[in-house]
Amino acid sequence: MCAALLAGCGERDVPKKVSGGDPAQGQRLMAHYQCTACHAIPEVPGAVGDAGPPLAQFGRRSYIAGGIPNTADNLTRWLDNPPAMKPGTGMPDLGVSPQEARHMAAYLFTLQ
């Protein structure tokens, strides 16, 4: 029984992957779209915003915006159009394209 329980250990440490996403490009896009105005984001220049939650260790989070399961598809859709997923959210639709959202999601999942 212990072996079965231990078999699942470490799965959580494996970063989530986003198909077609480039983390380096996502990091640049986080700066381009000025996500730093609201969020503290590791390794993104000027990322000291505090209107939104800090994004350090985002890849370990279970939920986006307090209730949306943190999966690659959900995060990509969230970054593409947050109000469509959670009406009334304080996070605006910044005009991020679906491809840009994939890159940004790939970067956020590297934050462990």
Q: How confident is the model at residue 13 (pLDDT cuts 50, 70, 90)?
A: low
In a domain, 92, yes or no: yes
Give the contacts of 104 (CB within 8 A, at least 6 positions apart): 21, 26, 29, 30, 33, 35, 79, 96
In a domain, 82, yes or no: yes
Closest of 78, 84, 69, 76 to residue 107, by C-alpha: 76
In a domain, 7, yes or no: no
In a domain, 14, yes or no: no
Tokens of 47: 């990322």
Q: Which CATH number does the domain housing residue 104 bear?
A: 1.10.760.10
Angle at 65 between CA 60 and CA 68, to 5 degrees: 75
Does the pLDDT of residue 3 top 50, yes or no? Answer: no
In a domain, 5, yes or no: no
In a domain, 33, yes or no: yes
Does the pLDDT of residue 7 top 60, yes or no? Answer: no
Q: Quote the pLDDT of residue 45.
A: 86
In a domain, 47, yes or no: yes
Its domain, for residue 96, covers: 19-110
Number of domains in the chain: 1
- The pLDDT tens digits for 16-54 are 889 999 999 999 999 999 999 999 998 998 868 889 999
